[in-house]
Amino acid sequence: VDEKRAIIRPRDPDFTIERQCDLVGLPRSTYYYESCSDDAFNLAMMREIDLLFMAEDVPKLVGTRI
């Protein structure tokens, strides 16, 4: 994917990005996609939630209907 993305020339006067993506077999959504990474705060919060959920004294609601 990275190789295909590197081939695309956004300022090419003869071929649109859409046409270039078609030619190399790269979906335009993949061309424009930018992965997001979790920052340290989010990772710390996810760790805390995991610890709370895994604690034995916390009742689990998995499979129960309210």
Helix (H) or strand (E) run with residue 53 in it: helix 40-54
Interacting residues of 18 by C-beta distance below 8 A, sequence separation 6+? 28
**Alpha-carbon distance 30 to 57, whole Å?**
44
* pLDDT tens, the chain, 66 aa long: 999 999 999 999 999 999 999 999 999 999 999 888 788 999 999 999 888 878 766 566 666 565
Interacting residues of 7 by C-beta distance below 8 A, sequence separation 6+? 20, 24
Q: Looking at the chain, which runs of residues are DSSP E strands?
A: none
pTM of full prediction above 0.85: no
